[in-house]
């Protein structure tokens, strides 16, 4: 599944494809983000990119949790169920976290530039559109659209 997200993000023009992959992963209740195994990829660029994909998963899922949704809920909720979910106390919500192995993945020595869907390169590390988690691994990528409901 991680490679599905990876392949979708390599081509940011496939927004529906990678968002569908994110949503599919969300629906797999037995797949916590922190349990994604270390791919131990020998290619430093791909390894860093894969590590960053787990940050996108966690960020996307945690936005759903913040809204009161849970990976254990059915896909469709009644208005009453949605209101009940919104009222779950913060300390009872199950937020996702990235796998421990992502911390050991080194930042790239040279910045990896990933163009936008129309070929535009971001202006640099200070560009407000740059994704902060990818920047931590020295990858300059426009923050992809990762939200769904």
Residue 137: name the closest of 107, 99, 94 by CA.
107
pTM of the model as a whole:
0.85
Q: How far apart are CA 138 and CA 149, in angstroms?
A: 30
> Given the structure tokens 């195994």, which residue do they identify?
37
Note the pLDDT of residue 147.
Answer: 76
Distance separating the N- and C-terminal Cα atoms of the chain: 19
CA distance 4 to 102: 18
Which one, of 60, 62, 138, 52, lies nearest residue 101 by Cα?
A: 52
User: Over its length of 149 residues, how does the chain's per-residue pLDDT go in tens digits?
Assistant: 555 555 555 555 567 777 788 888 898 989 999 999 999 999 999 999 999 999 999 999 999 999 999 998 888 899 999 999 999 999 999 999 999 999 999 999 999 998 877 788 898 999 999 999 999 999 999 888 787 76
């Amino acid at each position: 599944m991680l490679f599905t997200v990876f392949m979708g993000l390599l081509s940011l023009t496939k927004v529906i494809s990678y968002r569908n992959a994110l949503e599919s992963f969300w629906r797999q209740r037995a797949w916590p983000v922190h349990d994604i195994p270390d791919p131990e990829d020998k290619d430093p660029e791909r390894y860093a990119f894969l590590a960053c994909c787990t940050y996108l998963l966690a960020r996307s899922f945690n936005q759903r949790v913040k809204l009161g949704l849970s990976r254990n809920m059915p896909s469709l909720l009644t208005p009453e169920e949605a209101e009940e979910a919104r009222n779950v106390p913060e300390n009872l919500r199950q937020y996702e976290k990235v796998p421990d192995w992502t911390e050991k993945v080194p930042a790239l020595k040279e910045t990896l530039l990933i163009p936008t869907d129309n070929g535009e390169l971001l202006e640099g590390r200070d560009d407000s559109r740059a994704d902060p988690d990818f920047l931590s691994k020295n990858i300059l990528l426009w923050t992809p659209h990762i939200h769904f409901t």
